[in-house]
Amino acid sequence: MLQQYQVAVEAPISNLLTYQSDLDLQIGDSVIVPLGARQSKGVIVNSVSHLTTDAFKIKNIVSLNSERERLSKNYIKWIQWISDYYVYPVGQIFPNAFPPLKKKKEGAKNKTQELVFEEAEAHELNSDQQKVFEDIRSKPGFGVHLLHGVTGSGKTEVYMRLFEEVFKEGQQGLFLLPEISLTPQLLKRFSQRFPGEISSFHSQLTDRNKTNQWWDFYTKKSKLILGARSALFCPSNNIGLIVLDEEHEPSYKQDEKLKYHARDAAIVLGKLLNIPVVLGSATPSLETWHNVELGKFNYHQLKNRISGRSMPDVKIVDLAAHKKEGTEKSPNAIEPYWLSEELYKELLENYENKKQAALFLNRRGFANWVQCLDCGHTFECDNCSISLTLHNKSHLVCHYCDFSRKLPEHCPECDSIKIKTVGLGTEQIEVDLQKLFPESRIARADRDQIQKKQDLDDLIYAFEKNEYDFLVGTQMIAKGLDFKNLTLVGLVMADISLNIPDFRSAERSYQLITQMSGRAGRHSEKPGKVFIQTYSPNNTCIIHSTTNNFTGYANEELQHRKELKYPPFGKLVSFKILGASDQRAKEVSERLRERAEKLKEMREPYKDFHVLGPAPAAIARLRNKYRYHIIVKADVGAPLSTYVKEIIGDKKWISSGVRVNVDIDPQNMM
């Protein structure tokens, strides 16, 4: 019997397309359909109860795509929500729910590398952990739970106990991490606890490995899938619990193509599946904290580290005062300019006691930029409006497009030889540290050193085995890592993230400082030590981080946000206009502004929206594309997505060679 279906095709098309077939098809089936002069994959989203009798001919579905499994109605609803909310073609979201390659035939050898760890028993929960565990278990069905626990308070053990109960009930679990840097240690812990029952899923796996892991979870061979945000799309109708660790991390928001936030998408999925969603963090995002204050999220707290271990002793070092004192010292002073005397003494004592130390600077390379002292010329990227960073004392590199060139001996503008490096990067710290401690073993963790997941796995394993004395790194060492012998942490320049032109810069700084401080002394009887070197010792964000006063910091920051109607008190959408021609990009941005303002006049629900811009983006040219941006601010609950769809319309007003990217709830304002 001929039946008509609405199909989401894998093409940049906003609407569902109607096709017909006499095959035995159901909602959720993947199909091959004709699209113009070619064929396209698609997913059946609806069946049409009343056959369409339009003048145009309804095309026939070519075939069932038997390589893909049928999706449940809940997953279809969820993907439709993502499409509607983030204004992205629904047919281009569905491929995320399927493995990248065909399933291997029965009997084919599986080359997936399985990690084998020694099995570990569960730790006994302390009274605080037990209370959190029981409180979450006492609320079955959908609910969002914030587990707010200081670093080292045992959040992971609570997660594992919750998953253990879910597994006993015959269900599976989903555990999300913000990025792969957290995967090795947590994968080891979960694999020791649940041997042979864990799948992992993240961008660093090969397509074949991803496919094998996907099928293990889909066929219930594994009970838990652990991975980065893409693991959220692995479909199962059997999930009983979703956990997002480090829920505050901005890397849960995807910046390319489909700009979704995994935290928010997970909450919607949890609601559709009627299961609990647990968000864990020592430094919750202000959006999550505000939802706790409104009573929308359940709140659970772990105030203390496990086994009665102390939080680290934190000291602020005023770099301005240190610099002034340094000028009065002997020219033979031992410390490099970035290292205070206090931190140097502690590094020396820690090293002599055979303990490990970590130095954090969220900037890689040898120096931030290079400048001619005679004419002031700075070396900029040929493709981006950004300074080149010096690496290996000889190469200038762009951290955005990877353009590089050799450092010249003479200035290209005035031929002067007075070329000076300015600023500091992790590479310079490593070099200086080796001079101070010639016999020491130093590891560096940044994007230059860590090219693939195996590099990170090897470094973590070696540091756990005490094969290194010092760890120098960017933010990849600030999150979730747990080293038993690491007792001292130095934040070399804590001001860097405070100076980024973004309304979230204070929030990010507080989170980074607190998270990095939390790496110190997690397993020692004596408190670990943390030194925060800063030119802004009186900044409230830094002061609150030294006392671990999240509530005090959050109250102050939320008051600022409320006055400006920034999230969580308002909603934002960012339009980024990119073009190879500056003039065309600017013209399109001005047209977009006109359309936005006109819609405000025409539609009552939009009248209170605020349209800001257009203005050149903070990085005005990136990868040879000129960039403008427009921000729209609206009250919470306002129909922003609908407004965006009307602004974009049929796209005929967008000039050739210009692209308009939409970002709902942007995390990156650059």
Is there a domain that residue 470 lies in? yes
Is there a domain that residue 117 lies in? no
Q: Provide the pLDDT for residue 596.
A: 97
Exposure string of 33-55, with b = 16+ CB inside 10 Å and e = fewer, is: bebeeeebbbbbbeeeeeeeeee
- Domain check: are 399 and 439 in the same one? no
Q: Provide the pLDDT for residue 329.
A: 47
- Domain check: are 520 and 443 in the same one? yes
- Domain check: are 347 and 298 in the same one? no
Report CA-CA distances (Å) from 391 to 222, 276, 424.
44, 47, 11
Q: How far is it, in rounded angstroms, from Cα 580 to Cα 658?
A: 7
Q: Provide the pLDDT for residue 298.
A: 98
- What backbone torsions phi and psi does residue 516 show, to the nearest 5 degrees? -65, -40
Q: What is the pLDDT of residues 285-301, one digit of tens each?
A: 999 999 999 999 999 99
Is there a domain that residue 105 lies in? no
Across the chain, what does the average pLDDT equal?
A: 90
pLDDT bin (cut points 50, 70, 90) of residue 202 is confident
- For range 22-32, the mean pLDDT: 96
Which CATH number does the domain housing residue 496 bear? 3.40.50.300
pLDDT bin (cut points 50, 70, 90) of residue 108 is low
Q: How far is it, in rounded angstroms, from Cα 600 to Cα 597?
A: 5
**Contact call for residues 287 and 107 (beta carbons, < 8 A):** no
**Contact call for residues 289 and 555 (beta carbons, < 8 A):** no
- In sequence order, which residues have a C-beta less than 8 Å from that of residue 50 and are 6 or more positions away? none
Q: Does residue 46 have a pLDDT over 90?
A: yes
Strands 395-397 and 404-406, bridge-based pairing: antiparallel
Segment of 184-193, 475-484, 602-611 carrying the highest mean pLDDT: 602-611
- Domain check: are 467 and 352 in the same one? yes
Report CA-CA distances (Å) from 162 to 210, 225, 263, 623.
26, 14, 19, 46
Q: How far is it, in rounded angstroms, from Cα 604 to Cα 61?
A: 42
pLDDT bin (cut points 50, 70, 90) of residue 130 is very high
Q: What's the CA angle centered on 318, arms 316 and 319, to 5 degrees?
A: 125
Is there a domain that residue 168 lies in? yes
pLDDT bin (cut points 50, 70, 90) of residue 331 is very low
- Domain check: are 211 and 343 in the same one? no
Q: How many domains does the chain have?
A: 5
Q: How far is it, in rounded angstroms, from Cα 136 to Cα 148?
A: 13
- Domain check: are 186 and 61 in the same one? no
Q: Smallest Cα–Cα separation from 431: which of 359, 532, 491?
A: 359
Report residue 512 as tokens: 């980074």
Q: Provide the pLDDT for residue 618.
A: 87
Is there a domain that residue 142 lies in? yes
pLDDT bin (cut points 50, 70, 90) of residue 480 is low
Give the amino acid at 387. Answer: S
Q: Provide the pLDDT for residue 612.
A: 95
DSSP 155-168: HHHHHHHHHHHHHH
Q: Smallest Cα–Cα separation from 322: which of 334, 337, 307?
A: 337
Q: Provide the pLDDT for residue 476.
A: 80
Q: How far is it, in rounded angstroms, from Cα 248 to Cα 507?
A: 10
Q: How far is it, in rounded angstroms, from Cα 384 to Cα 354?
A: 45
Give the amino acid at 437. Answer: F
Q: Provide the pLDDT for residue 569.
A: 96
Q: Does residue 442 have a pLDDT over 60?
A: yes
Q: Does residue 109 have a pLDDT over 60?
A: no
Is there a domain that residue 22 lies in? yes
**Contact call for residues 190 and 177 (beta carbons, < 8 A):** no
- Domain check: are 29 and 138 in the same one? no
Q: What is the pLDDT of residues 538-597, one digit of tens each?
A: 988 899 988 889 999 999 999 999 999 999 999 999 999 999 999 999 999 999 999 999
- Domain check: are 238 and 384 in the same one? no
Give the amino acid at 249. Answer: E
Q: What is the pLDDT of residues 232-267, one digit of tens each?
A: 999 888 999 999 999 999 999 999 899 999 999 999
453 vs 27 pLDDT, higher one: 27
Is there a domain that residue 233 lies in? yes
Segment of 288-292, 508-512, 648-652 carrying the highest mean pLDDT: 288-292
528 vs 452 pLDDT, higher one: 528
- Domain check: are 164 and 251 in the same one? yes
pLDDT bin (cut points 50, 70, 90) of residue 42 is very high
pLDDT bin (cut points 50, 70, 90) of residue 179 is confident
Q: Does residue 423 have a pLDDT over 90?
A: no
Exposure string of 359-386, with b = 16+ CB inside 10 Å and e = fewer, is: bbbbbbbbbbbbbbeeeebebbbebbbb
Q: Which of 74-88, 123-137, 154-168, 186-200 has the weakest average pLDDT?
A: 186-200
pLDDT bin (cut points 50, 70, 90) of residue 106 is low
Is there a domain that residue 371 lies in? yes
**Contact call for residues 667 and 263 (beta carbons, < 8 A):** no
Which CATH number does the domain housing residue 609 bear? 3.30.70.600
- Domain check: are 468 and 547 in the same one? yes
DSSP 32-72: EEEETTEEEEEEEEEEESS----SSPPPBP-EE-TTSPPPP
- Domain check: are 205 and 318 in the same one? no
- Domain check: are 359 and 372 in the same one? no
Domain end marker among 560, 581, 596: 560
Q: Provide the pLDDT for residue 375.
A: 87
Report residue 444 as tokens: 């560096």
Domain end marker among 560, 581, 602: 560
Burial of 308 (0-12, 13-18, 19+ CB in 10 A): exposed
Owning domain of residue 647: 570-664
